[in-house]
Amino acid sequence: MDGAQPRGRSQAEIDEKLDLRARLAVEHLARLAAEGPERDCCLCGYRGRFSPVRTKPGIWCPSCDSRPRHRLFKLWLDRGGAAEIEGRRVLHFASEPVLTAVVQPLAGAYATADILPGHDLHLDMEAIDQPDGSWDVVIANHVLEHLDDRRALAELHRVLAPGGLALLTVPLVEGWAETLETPAWTSEEDRRAYYTDPLHLRFYGRDFRDRLAQAGFAVEDFTAVEPDVFRFGLQRGETLFVARKTTRPEG
């Protein structure tokens, strides 16, 4: 009959279905953790099963603790990127030890930086206390979503020498034309629901490239594709943005 609604389940049936699906999900992840395919870690040389993280199966290297974005960065180094770093002055924000181990030996000078203690330099990316043009390469993996990214990108542009590189990864959905960013979402619940993390301020769309261009960068993509995704446990479509300082910021 036109306009008829499908019969919904009773609350008891719904509760039973929720319990079943929860158990199946846990069993599925447990199976993947115990019996998943072998993968290669291009950072430490380990070959074997990777462990799941939250709802993502097979992404964490149990030998060196690398995540997909770290292994994507290493592939970029291996496929020509190392020449962009060799002998250069490198500033690494929120540094990951697994990347420090491969970047520092290449660099002419290398420093870690963060607003938190425990790094070589105590720096706020929104107001970097460093001279203009004092660095050749800046690395920041999953940092910009935590702060005022327009101020931070302007600062990265300022401290980079002409032709310098900002090597950046962010959480991003290519299918979104515009970044999801609503200032009214200030609670932890809102940010976890919409940005997946209570400390995130936005979830990027493909207009992230426009933000980089507006800050004065020319952008190249190094994207996770097959067969690398399966072999190295990468996140499908994740991109390392290679942003080169070539122009004055727009406006």
53/127: higher pLDDT: 127
Domain limits, the chain: 11-60, 68-245
Task: Tell me if residue 116 falls in helix, strand or coil.
Answer: coil
**Can you tell me the distance from the alpha carbon of 93 to that of 43, in angstroms, rounded to the nearest whole number?**
19
Pick the CATH number of 68-245 from 3.40.50.150, 2.20.140.10, 2.60.40.10, 3.40.640.10: 3.40.50.150
The neighbouring-strand residues paired with 160 are 135
Q: Which residues contact 117 (CB under 8 A, 6 or more apart)?
A: none
* pLDDT 10s digits, 177-208: 999 999 999 999 999 999 999 989 999 999 99
Return the H-helix or E-strand segment holding 158. Answer: helix 149-159
Q: What is the pLDDT of residue 213?
A: 97
**Cα torsion at 93, 98, 99, 103 (round to 10°)?**
120
d(CA 10, CA 68) in angstroms, rounded, equals 42
* pLDDT-derived band at 2, boundaries 50, 70, 90: low
DSSP per residue over 34-84, as a string? HHPPEEE-TTT--EEEPEEETTEEEEE-TTT---HHHHHHHHHIIIIIHHH
Rg (CA), the chain: 21
* Widest pairwise Cα distance in the chain: 75
CA-closest candidate to residue 224, choices 58, 72, 50: 72
pLDDT per position as a tens digit, 15-58 = 999 999 999 988 888 887 788 899 999 999 999 999 888 778 88
Average pLDDT over residues 89-93: 98
Average pLDDT value for residue range 199-223: 96
Instruction: Let me know: does 71 contact 37? Beta carbons within 8 Å.
Output: no
pLDDT classification of 142: cutoffs 50, 70, 90: very high
- Does the structure show a pLDDT above 60 at 1? no
pLDDT for 31: 83
Q: Which residue has the higher pLDDT, 201 or 247?
A: 201
28's tokens: 């599925």
User: pLDDT per residue over 54-89, tens digit each?
Assistant: 778 889 999 999 999 999 999 999 999 999 999 999
Residues 6+ apart with CB under 8 A from 19: none
pTM exceeding 0.85: yes
pLDDT higher at 164 or 8 = 164
